Structure 1
Amino acid sequence: MADNEFGYTTWGMDWVRLAEPLRRTRPEPLLPRARSIARNNGVQATIEGRIVRGAIHRGGQASVTHVEVAPLPRAAVTAIAEVIADPTVLTDDMHRALAIAGISPAPALASVDCSCSARSAHCVHVYAVFYEIARRVDEDPRLALELQGYFQAAQDDPETTVEAPRWVPINTLEPADYFAIAPVPIP
């Protein structure tokens, strides 16, 4: 895998697999353009906790991509800590040890959004952000666990695992809590 442009480490390949899943039966025509955008530094990605925001400017168009990574469950954090005693330097052998132990360090996405006009779940901008993050994870594999909230969860109290939902389903709202119903006087 050393000759791969993106995902030459197993940690980075997990991010490439988000763009190129093994279960895909036909080629995705957007992937060469997405790799070109990432290769030519067309993605300005900022990482804040588990959220990656990518700004992509091509020609006269600009798109903002938002990728939120799902947090690791408490059981996975504990299991990873048992397998990897010192996560300061992560190697491919540590990734294989996690796989042998039955723990998948691959990221799961909580949400993906792009401001472009494409009407699909994944557009060229989202794929470009995946490749950019794969490149960054290849440079620093700790980022793979950091994006999943591993280091934050390892420091937190195990009793505080409840996370506030990002969205509230509309059918769970009670209108009476938000609107006062005043009696109408009858003449």
Structure 2
Amino acid sequence: MNKETVLYVVIALLVGILGTVLVVGVVNKQKPAPATAGIPAGGGSPVDYQQRIAEAEKIVAGDPKNLQAWIQLGNDYFDTDQAQKAINAYGKALELDPTNVNVLTDQGIMFKRVGWFDKAIANFEKAQQLDPKHLQSLYNLGVVYMSDLKQPAKAVKYWERYLELDPMGPNSQQIRTMLEEAKGMAQTPSPQGQLFKK
């Protein structure tokens, strides 16, 4: 392999790993108001999550129109890596409030986690339509296009928009780094179809 190909592979791997870590680490989940009945505040240990999930499930069983309980349930499933259950809980929340950009984004992240990239993109794009300044959905659109769909030119578009909206924010340097890598990859011809000597 030549040096350019090795560099391309290393960058692709790093961006994929970084993107996956960041999607989970930068998530801006909407937390329920403190007045949500029956859902304890705090959290952290698996025992707390199990108890919170059980209590939230009990609340939504008795009051299926409790938006905050559905959101909390989705968030707890999200945090405990129960993607399908999170998707379903966020879906119930979105039935009650289809304009909640944070829930759309969190559900989109869960769609990404299970490999439903088209659904993830649809959620992030809907969040953008509802709130064109929603940074997390812009960020996640870039990640899906870069890491999962291997379309760096599309990632560039979303990350440039992110930096237009928040040029000095806490994640701006990280976005700049990812943007430069995406730009480099978008300009590099794909090595597919080339033969390499051992």
Q: Please give the TM-score of this superposition, normalised by the length of structure 1.
A: 0.25
Question: More relative contact order in 1 or in 2 (CA 8 Å, sep 6+)?
Answer: 1
Higher fraction of strand: 1
Higher fraction of helix: 2
- Pair member with larger Rg: 1
